[in-house]
Amino acid sequence: MKGIHDVGGSDGYGPVVIETDEQIWHAEWEKAVFSFFTQGAVAGFFNLDEFRSEIERMSPADYLLTPYYAHWFHSIEHYIARSDDSFEAEMDRRTQEYLADRDKPLPPNVNHELADLIGELAYAGAPTHRDVDTEPLFAVGDRVLVSSTVPFHHTRKAGYVQGKVGEVVLHHGGHVFPDANAEGRGEEPHHVYGVRFRASDLFGDGIGDAKTWNTIDLWEPYLSHATSEGLK
Q: Does domain 143-225 have CATH number 2.60.40.1180?
A: no
Residue 216 CB neighbour total at 10 angstroms: 19
Classify domain 28-124 at the CATH topology level.
Cyclin A; domain 1 (1.10.472)
Q: How many Cα atoms within 13 Å fall on the side-chain side of residue 95?
A: 6
Q: Would you state the pLDDT for residue 169?
A: 98
| pLDDT tens digits, 214-225 | 999 999 999 999
Q: How many Cα atoms within 13 Å fall on the side-chain side of residue 64?
A: 10
Q: Which residues pair with 213 in a beta bridge?
A: 198
Quote the pTM value.
0.85
Distance CA 142, CA 140 (A): 6
Distance CA 100, CA 102 (A): 6
Q: How many Cα atoms within 13 Å fall on the side-chain side of residue 206?
A: 0
Task: 41-47: list long-range contacts, CB under 8 Å, 24+ apart.
Answer: 41/126, 42/114, 42/117, 45/76, 45/79, 45/80, 45/82, 45/83, 46/75, 46/76, 46/79, 47/181, 47/182
Nearest to 153 by CA among 178, 124, 136, 128: 178
Question: Is the confidence at residue 228, as pLDDT, over 60?
Answer: no
- At residue 101 the predicted structure's pLDDT band, cuts being 50, 70 and 90, is very high
Instruction: Outline which parts of the chain fall under CATH 1.10.472.20.
Output: 28-124
Nearest to 174 by CA among 127, 115, 125, 224: 127
- At residue 231 the predicted structure's pLDDT band, cuts being 50, 70 and 90, is very low
Question: Is the confidence at residue 232, as pLDDT, over 60?
Answer: no
